[in-house]
A and B are shown apart, each in its own frame.
Chain A
Amino acid sequence: MIVRELELDLDAFEGPFDLLLTLVLKEELDLAEVDVAGIVLGFVERLAERDELDLEACGEFLVLVAALLELKARGLFPDEEAELADLEPEEAAEELARRLAEYRRMKEAAAWLAERLVGERDRFFRLGPAPLAPEPERRLAAQDPEALAGALRLLATAPPTVSLAHMELRFPPVAQFLERFRALLRRRATFDFDHELAGMSRREQAVAFLALLELRRANQITINQAAPFAPIRVSRQERDLTNERTPAWNLRSA
């Protein structure tokens, strides 16, 4: 039997044991929500079904469950760990007994309630929202009609026109520069990028640079720059320029 594949069906978790461990270790599942006794029960049931004692599986399971229990205990009583450790064994046992007894009583109270619920299952009665007394009348302080008029006046003023200036940025198409550079390179083997861009707007320069990158990507040119900010030299890639690919993309005008 493989312990990690043990299928669990708990309130807080449903699935294989190793997934539970993973979730707990990744802190995606709060161990405090997990009923460890339920896991043990599941394992014991599985063991009983098989009708043979798998010592290896039992050992592995014990180690895993012990680790889980320790983790859980630490999580549940973060402050009390120290508190209990300070106690003499005698006192600690007394404290534990007190807590166990308290839980035992609650468990029995729960059993009593469960029994009672079954006994009272034939109770039918009318249910509804809380009835009773009419709501106290809401009194408003004296109001100034001018305040209402003021509020309406505020609403009646036309809102300021929203500027759409920023939406009018228009970019020249990249294709335009592609054509231009290709034509240039048909005439000359090399050209100076900065020189060609002289006098252009910032926006045009940006698009021109995109065209340059596009040509480089298509392996039609080589680009050289001696140093950062030095002039960019563009040379024709020595190969068949007639077999050009259509540029894969254009920068869309905004």
Chain B
Amino acid sequence: MEPPLRLVVANPLDRLARTIEALLVVASAPLSVEELCAAAEEDAERVETALRLLSERYGEGRTGIVLEQVAGGWAFRASRDAAEACARLFERPVQRGVSQAGMETLAIVAYLGPCTRPEIARIRGVAADSAVAGLVERGLIAEAGRADGAEGGAVRYRTTPLFERVFGLESLSQLPRLEDLGDDADQIRERLHAVAEQRTA
């Protein structure tokens, strides 16, 4: 393992790293590289280099603060060692567990979003109104405009950056591929075909 990079005061990259550090401390939501560039008046390449320097310095287990790439940006969070102490003083955004209905709805919105309540109901076979309302209240999903025409202009929903933060996702692309899930589809198909044949026979 490489030794951690030393921050030398005279180094201009170090000055940038300090600026970024400061910006991230003040921010209450992850900052994207673009936002950091704009605030620090630097180009993306240098900002990314400084971020690499910082993530090394604020790696898990090194300090009480951890720098992570989450929800399409960069943010500080508490180190996992401190979780118990944090839990005594603070409540997590999703303290109480999400119900099964909520999880399924969340999965549908995460994979297929932005999507409407009728679309969610179609897949789950149960109206999604209360599940959707619960997720909106928790800030895990939010309205994202309206569907045009066919669904009667129903409100569409998408997941929020908070969702990605709570689940520790850099972006939605970190979700497992849909094709890799539910591999017993063929089995279902065979059974249904068997039923269909019986009916025609």
The residues of A with any CB-CB pair to B shorter than 8 Å are: 11-12, 30, 32-35, 76, 89-90, 92-94, 96-97, 99-114, 116-117, 119-132
Q: Which of B6-14, B41-49, B50-58, B105-113 contacts A (4 or more CB under 8 A)?
A: B105-113
Within 8 A of A (CB), among B123-158: 123-127, 129-130
Say yes or no: is B100 at the interface (Cβ < 8 Å to chain A).
yes
CA distance A130 to B93 in the complex (A): 15
Given that A109-B107, A110-B104, A116-B168 are known contacts, is A101 also in contact with B185, CB under 8 Å in the complex?
yes
Cβ 8 A contact of B200, one of A89, A117, A120, A126: A89
Residues in B with CB closer than 8 Å to A123 are 77-78, 80, 83, 92, 165-166, 168
CA distance A11 to B131 in the complex (A): 10
CA distance A103 to B101 in the complex (A): 12
Residues in A with CB closer than 8 Å to B126 are 32-35
CA distance A72 to B26 in the complex (A): 52
B86 (CB) vs chain A CBs: closest residue: A124
Residues in B with CB closer than 8 Å to A103 are 123-125
Given that A76-B125, A124-B77 are known contacts, is A108 also in contact with B182, CB under 8 Å in the complex?
yes
Instruction: Report the minimal beta-carbon distance from A33 to chain B, rounded to whole angstroms.
Output: 5
> Is the contact region of chain B dominated by helix, strand, or loop, or is it mixed?
helix
Cβ 8 A contact of A125, one of B77, B175, B199: B77
Instruction: Report the minimal beta-carbon distance from B71 to chain A, rounded to whole angstroms.
Output: 10
Residues in A with CB closer than 8 Å to B77 are 123-126
Cβ 8 A contact of A32, one of B82, B99, B121, B193: B121
Instruction: Report the minimal beta-carbon distance from A137 to chain B, rounded to whole angstroms.
Output: 19
Within 8 A of A (CB), among B148-196: 162, 165-168, 175-176, 178, 181-182, 184-185, 188-189, 192-193, 195-196
CA distance A101 to B189 in the complex (A): 8
Given that A123-B168, A125-B165 are known contacts, is A117 also in contact with B98, CB under 8 Å in the complex?
yes
Decide if B108 touches A128 in the complex (CB within 8 Å). Answer: no
Residues in A with CB closer than 8 Å to B122 are 76
Decide if A127 touches B93 in the complex (CB within 8 Å). Answer: yes
Interface centre among B93, B103, B121, B178 (most CB of A within 10 A): B103
Q: 19 extra interchain contacts, Cβ-Cβ under 8 A, other than A94-B193, A100-B188, A112-B107?
A: A32-B121, A76-B125, A89-B200, A92-B196, A97-B185, A101-B189, A103-B123, A104-B181, A106-B124, A109-B176, A113-B103, A114-B98, A117-B94, A117-B167, A122-B80, A123-B77, A123-B168, A124-B77, A124-B83
